[in-house]
Amino acid sequence: MSHDNEDNKLRYRRTQSVTRAEEITDKESKQRKSQPDKPCHRPRDSLFSWSSGFDNFTGLVNWGFLLLTMGGFRLVLENFIKYGIRVDPVQWFVVLTGKNEGEGHPSLLLIFYTIVPIMICLIVEKGLAADILMESAGMIVHVVNIVVLVLIPMVVIHVKGETFSLVGAMTVCFIYCIMFLKMWSYVQVNMWCRTKHKKRRNRSGRRQSVSIAQLQNEREHEQIRSNGNGVIPNNDKDNVPTLVHYPDNLHLKDFFYFLLAPTLCYELNFPRTSRVRKRFLIKRMLEVVIGVHIVMGLFQQWMIPSVRNSLVPFSNMDLTKTAERLLKLAIPNHLMWLCFFYLTFHSFLNLMGELLHFSDRNFYSDWWNANNIDTFWRTWNMPVHKWCVRHLYIPVVDLGYSKMAASVIVFFISAFFHEYLVSVPLKTFKIWAFMGMMAQIPLSVVSKHMEKNYGPRWGNIVVWASIILGQPLAIMMYYHDYMITNYNDVLV
């Protein structure tokens, strides 16, 4: 018995001798302070320890920013010394205005042609709403109309590619992709409304009596059809507009508003602002003008020489020089991508939203804090994310497919359009962009593994690494294939 007590005391003394700061009790701390030796030590952890609770690293952030600025300034000087000043605003004007295109400006003709599928879509919707067309026949026409819309740039640019400028072809493909997504949403939302409208009409059956309120409501709906302004007048003191109901939304003004609005998801009643903020509008306009010049300047001065210099090492499969070219191209490409993100998702979309009184400005979320790839794709491009969830992911799950299968289908469609936007303008049909998007699925597993086992910081590092290195690698591959396809004789 006495032996056990001695073991307990020894274990107790051994526990108290541990040097970890959190093991020292408050009682011992008070006793130490009462000693005449004037103690200056207290239990605390080093600042770089996770247990310290210290999180103010502002000085280190400033140091890193200054170091990056100095390194970037050195690269700028090196670029100017090696290549001289390559920035040429006159050439920007020629490229952006399409003056280097062939006769007739085929890019503008293709953009104007989008009115044809728009009118076909609206006419079919009116026919379905009036029960002139059968549902199956109307859906067949819609599917053919939307698919042909995507195929037109592929065929025309392939056949008449020499008359298109690169910027013009890219603009056409981008607009046609946006039209495809918007028309898909328009058709699907009207189908939802039409189904519910018919169910309500079938439940009500034959009306036995008509009330005064119903007659007034019918007169208001008749007025909206004649006015075509998409808003039913309200004579209340608050002047709150009454919601538009199906099929009163089926008119050109409503459709064109949706086509111009900074969203891909159609609604019968969009949230609206009451006025245009002039100061906010001027800021966004200046940002668009200045941002375009910055992006064009970076591309002309920094990107083009780096991409050209990567051709020979990439062709010879010199891994060391290719890696050096990749890292050198990563910096200007990433700066351009960040400028393009701000220019598109903040400046331009807010500009359009302000002009159109569109009040939902959730164009992006805090993607820079994404701890895995899935979170990044859900937050960096909110219009596309909302469209994918609303019109693709949820309908596929409702059909009985698993969430994993729905996610793969979403990435597949996204990969197709990424490839479409690159291969069609370049007339170089490869699969690098497609494979890059499909590679996001296994990369998502890796980033989640890093987040789970090593903390969210490492998951965020994986996200940033994929953004910084993935894009310049794809650019080098497409430039190599484009030059080999079109200028192989000159290179040899």
Contacting residues for 163 by C-beta, under 8 A, at least 6 apart: 101, 102, 103, 104, 106
Structure tokens that stand for 455 in this block: 């903390």
User: What is the spatial distance between Cα 492 and Cα 489, in angstroms, rounded to a whole number?
Assistant: 5
Structure tokens that stand for 50 in this block: 């996770």
Q: How far is CA 87 from CA 98, 181, 294, in A?
A: 18, 36, 10
Structure tokens that stand for 90 in this block: 């006159």
Residue 371 is given by DSSP the state S
Q: Which helix (H) or strand (E) holds 369?
A: none
In 342-455, where does DSSP find H-type helix?
Answer: 349-355, 373-379, 382-388, 394-398, 403-426, 432-438, 440-454
Whether 245 sits among the annotated catalytic residues: the reply is: no
Structure tokens that stand for 430 in this block: 């490869």
Which of 431, 370, 369, 381 has its CA nearest to residue 410?
381
Quick one: residue 98, left, alpha or beta (phi over 0 = left, psi -120 to 50 = alpha)?
left
Q: From the candidates 105, 385, 391, 418, which is the catalytic residue?
A: 418
Q: Which helix (H) or strand (E) holds 460?
A: helix 456-491
Which of 136, 113, 246 has its CA nearest to residue 186?
246
Structure tokens that stand for 389 in this block: 């969830």
Q: Which helix (H) or strand (E) holds 224?
A: helix 212-227
Q: Is 314 exposed, middle or buried (0-12, 13-18, 19+ CB in 10 A)?
A: buried
CB 95 within 8 A of CB 295: no
The DSSP bridge partners found for residue 58 are: none
Residue reference for tokens 């499969």: 317
Quote the crossing angle between the two packed helices 106-113 and 135-159, to the nearest 10°. 180
Q: Is omega for the bond preceding 247 within 30 degrees of 0, making it cis?
A: yes
Contacting residues for 401 by C-beta, under 8 A, at least 6 apart: 409
Residue reference for tokens 């393009």: 340
* Residues noted as catalytic: 418
